[in-house]
Structure formats: C-alpha cells, structure tokens
Structure 1
Amino acid sequence: MIPKELTAGGRIETTCSRCNDITGHVIVAMVDGVIVKVECQACGSVHKYREVRKPKLKSETSGVRRVRSGESREAAVSLARSEAAKKAAQTRANQRAQQEAEAVMVAWKSVIVSKGTRDARPYNMAEGYAVGDIVDHPVFGMGEVQSATRPDKMEVLFKQGVKVLRCTL
C-alpha cells in the first residue's frame, strides 16, 4: 500500500473532542506539514488535532513502581510511602465523615423522639422561629431550630445535617 501524503482538505481518522470517539475528520489547517486543526465529519466541530492514543495493555500498567534512571531507591520508596500516606489519610477522612454523619443522625433522632412531630410548623421564609421549634421543610423534612442569628437566618438540625435557612426574626 502506498502511503498518501496529508494535505489540507484531506481526510484522517482521529479522536473528536466533542464526540469522544475516533471518527473521520477533514484537515482544516496545517503548519510546516503538521496537522493543527481538523473538522469532525460526524458532529461538525472544528478543534485541535489530537493523535489517536493506543490503550495501554494491562501488563504495561503494573501496580509496582519501578525506580527510574537517575532516581535513588530511597526517593522511590519515599514516593511510594507518600502515596500510601495519602490513601490512609483519605480513609481516615472518610471514617471521620461517617462518624460525624452518625452523630448528626443520633442527635436528630433524639430531638424528634423527645419533642415529637405533632407541633411541627411548615417552613416559611416569611415567618419567625425560635430556638427549639420543630420545622417541617418540604425538601429536608423535620428539623429543630438550633440557633437564630440576625437579621434573617437560622440553623436547623435535619436528618442530613445542619442547614442554614432564611427566616424573619
């Protein structure tokens, strides 16, 4: 097969940035024999030319990090340890967030059980609320007013957590 020379107006298969797929393109602009812009035949978008990347084989993406030339073994171990430390910190953060969510749930349940929902007032921005009032919000559900700050805000404990809502004081 004879390789054809690429010129402006020629056709090429490449990755489309809008379609996110390999489609046929028309070469729109070239600089010094290098393709710069292309137009997708599927969606009509004009964008920078991006070469098609071959997917890496699983054997090429090993979980073991190799020491690069010019890099000491200590530096590689330090980098691996810092990656492990990042994962551990993320795990701890997730555990902390879960514990906080459980604590909020326990606090909310104790408030709703102790005060009940029969005295709940439907939430309305134009009304005033006092600390300890039970509010029935259309999205968040039942909640207790924790604090009211001037001029027009209050913190309410809902099942999902503490939310700041607008009110009239």
Structure 2
Amino acid sequence: MITKELSAGGRIETTCSRCNDITGHVIVAMVGDVIVKVECQACGSVHKYREIRKPKLKSETSGVRRVRHGESREQAVSQARSEAAKKAAQTRANQRAQQEAEAVMIAWKSVIVSKGTNDARPYTMRESYAAGDIVDHPTFGMGEVQSVTRPDKMEVLFKEGVKVLRCTL
C-alpha cells in the first residue's frame, strides 16, 4: 500500500465551509505536517482546514430525552422543547436587561457630567421641581428630573434607572 504524503499544492477531499459539502480542495498552507488552509475547487474560497467528521448517530446526540413510563413521545418532545425555549428566553431577557442597564448608566453619566452636581437640590416631597433639575436623593443619590406629571409625581433618572417620586406642583 502506498501512502500519499501531503504537501502544499496537494489535493485532498474535505468539508468546505462555504459549500457545506465535501469537495476537492488544494492545500494552501501547512505548519509542519499539519494542514492549516485549503482552497475549495468548487467555489474558490480559501478557509481553515476542517477534517471530515462522521455524522453522529441518533443515540449519541446530547439533546435526546428518554420517554418516561406513562409518558407519550409527544409529551417528552414537548417537554424537551419547552425546557430549551425557557433557557433561550431567559438568556435573551438577561442580555436585554444588561443592555438597558448599560444604556441607563450611560445616560445618567452624561447628564451628571454635563450639568454637574454643584446646583443639586436636596429631595423632599414638599418641594416643586421642573424638568432638568438636579436632585440629591438620600437613597438613590444624584438624579435629573426627566418629567413632572400632575398632580404630584415626577420621573427622575438615577444611576439605577428611572424612578417615580412624589413632589408638589
């Protein structure tokens, strides 16, 4: 049996990342005896070398959930899908909450830096405020009045987010 030695310029069969199929490739770059880059002869793309992987058997897949006694196959599939959907929804919700918190933090910092804290008024429910005023709250810290709504409420942008506080008009 003759073994074919691989070298740059040689031809091999491997998986193409653009075609998503096993096609003929030309070896473009090697590091020692390891193939690093190849060029697909079908589409012409140059990409990293990927070995041909054997398809997994259904029993080897990680997403398989066994049917329990007294449970139908449809119930098992539905349960597995709902668990995966819950995880995905939780991940998306966490990402969205983190992005919103970062946006609030950026808005708060820009307001505090631009207006400064020298003219901040201590917060009390018996005071009247206007949009744009800087308020110093004992719990939430410095904030900017975003809007005042009748009869006795205002929205204030704090570091933790927008809070609704009482005031007089």
Q: Give me the TM-score of the superposition, normalised by structure 1.
A: 0.60
Taking the aligned partners of 1:138 and 1:69, their CA distance within structure 2 comes to 59
Superposed, 1:93-112 pairs within 5 Å as: 93-112=93-112
Moved more, 73-82 or 131-140: 73-82
Taking the aligned partners of 1:148 and 1:74, their CA distance within structure 2 comes to 54
In the TM superposition, what whole-angstrom CA distance separates every residue of 1:52-96 from its partner, at most 9, and x where no partner exists? xxxxxxxxxxxx853123433343122101111011101111111
CA contact (8 A) 2:65 2:77 kept: no
Aligned length: 107
Following TM superposition, by how much is the alpha carbon of 1:157 offset from its aligned partner in structure 2, in angstroms? 0.2
SS of residue in 1 equivalent to 2:144: strand
Taking the aligned partners of 1:124 and 1:71, their CA distance within structure 2 comes to 61
SS of residue in 2 equivalent to 1:155: strand
Following TM superposition, by how much is the alpha carbon of 1:151 offset from its aligned partner in structure 2, in angstroms? 1.1
Taking the aligned partners of 1:139 and 1:65, their CA distance within structure 2 comes to 49
Taking the aligned partners of 2:148 and 2:72, their CA distance within structure 1 comes to 59
Taking the aligned partners of 1:66 and 1:119, their CA distance within structure 2 comes to 66
Q: CA RMSD in A?
A: 1.7
Provide the residue aligned with 1:127 in structure 2.
127
Taking the aligned partners of 2:158 and 2:134, their CA distance within structure 1 comes to 10
Q: Does 1:138 align with 2:125?
A: no
Q: Give me the TM-score of the superposition, normalised by structure 2.
A: 0.60
